[in-house]
Amino acid sequence: MKLETKLFSQMLSQCATEYGDRPALTCRENTITFRQLKTAVDRCSLALAGAGFQKGDTAVLWGFNGIGQTGDGSLFERNYQILGGFSS
């Protein structure tokens, strides 16, 4: 049996399409859907690209334990601010 090889971004896109509004991550009373997770990952990718990261570069992403949301519902925004001012 041959296993299919996919990038994380490909798997996440597929899950966002197939499972959309179903829960992807839950931590205490906070839940995000597959669609929200994909949006957050895409925003992070764009922020890194905007900071000059290119394909093949290495990045370390740090975050708080749990799912944090700001008042406007955007994910991970506080972490961007702490790590050097990335914002949307």
Q: What is the pLDDT of residue 48?
A: 82
Mean pLDDT of the chain: 77
Distance CA 26, CA 34 (A): 11
Per-residue pLDDT reduced to its tens digit, 37-49:
898 888 888 888 8
CATH 3.40.50.980 is right for the domain spanning 8-82: yes
- Residue 62 in this model has a pLDDT that exceeds 90: no
Q: Where are the domains of the chain?
A: 8-82
Q: What is the pLDDT of residue 74?
A: 52
- Residue 82 in this model has a pLDDT that exceeds 70: no
pTM given for the model:
0.69
Q: What is the pLDDT of residue 83?
A: 46
Q: What residues contact residue 25 under an 8 Å CB cut-off, 6+ apart?
A: 31, 32, 37, 67
